[in-house]
Structure 1
């Protein structure tokens, strides 16, 4: 892998073919997931949905990672919302070049720019614990019954009221 600069941009429907193998690889780390086969069809709807924010990382013109987040909107009892980062994945051959950090920062920046989002949360597997620790983040173990080590992580964002 070369030492080119990482570029982060919003995903487009044209990114589906590059994203599908990454999505499949990401999901296989966790578990077998039937959603992989449906991802190509859903990508157009997700990219065009204003409640979703999907960004890709490019290195030397090649898509090497992606992050996907969603604004869940306010609950009936509050006027602010929680966003959830569903995925953050960088191809193994592109790791160590800053793509993961840049993707995370792009999602956090998006959440901070939304006037109603006050919390960005997600679950992480143990394999990503070191990555988030380098960003100064740690989480709480999510489920003692789950054999996969899952951690809940949340970033509280500044209020923009």
Structure 2
């Protein structure tokens, strides 16, 4: 696993291949979900899509984690939008070195700088609740899920 400082940057089409092993490892911890599979199959195109923000964490020149979010755009009754973070994952060998915090920060910065986004939301498995608590975030338990999942959101400052 790559050593050195963690560097977070926007993903490029060239990163899509490097992300495949990480996606597969993350997928192993997830239950089957056709929507998620289709999203990941389109990753190469999505890194360039203006409504998506995909960032990678590198250590020693090796991609060790990624985060992906999407701006859903404004609803007809409002001029602001909600963004959803689809994934935030760091290779187990790279955890504990700040990559997850840096990836979340990059997604939050993107959402805060994207003038239409006022809410960033996502779901988390219970295994990640301590990570989000360390960031000062607490989620709401989703009772209808077979596994422990939490809904989290961050309300961003309005720019009006």
TM-score interval for Structure 1 and Structure 2 normalised by the shorter chain: over 0.9
| 8 Å contact kept, 1:24–1:36 | no
Equivalent residue, structure 1, for 2:155:
156
Distance in 2 separating the partners of 1:66 and 1:122: 15
- Indicate the SS of the match to 1:30: coil
Equivalent residue, structure 2, for 1:104:
104
What is the number of equivalent residue pairs in this alignment?
159
Of 28-37 and 73-82, deviating more is 28-37
Q: Point out 4+ residue stretches in structure 1 off by more than 6 angstroms.
A: none
The two structures have a TM-score, normalised by structure 1, of 0.93
Distance in 2 separating the partners of 1:55 and 1:30: 20
CA-based RMSD: 1.6
1:122 aligns to 2:118 (yes or no):
no
The two structures have a TM-score, normalised by structure 2, of 0.93
Distance in 1 separating the partners of 2:154 and 2:123: 12
Gaps of 5+ in 1: none
- Indicate the SS of the match to 2:47: helix
Gaps of 5+ in 2: none
| 8 Å contact kept, 1:66–1:87 | yes
- Could you give the per-residue CA deviations for residues 65-123 of structure 1, whole angstroms, max 9, x where no partner exists? 00000000000111100000000000000000000000000000000001110000000
Mapping of residues 9-158 of structure 1, within 5 Å: 9-34=9-34, 35-36=36-37, 39-40=40-41, 42-142=42-142, 144-158=143-157
1:2–1:57 Cα change, 3 Å: closer
- Indicate the SS of the match to 2:29: helix
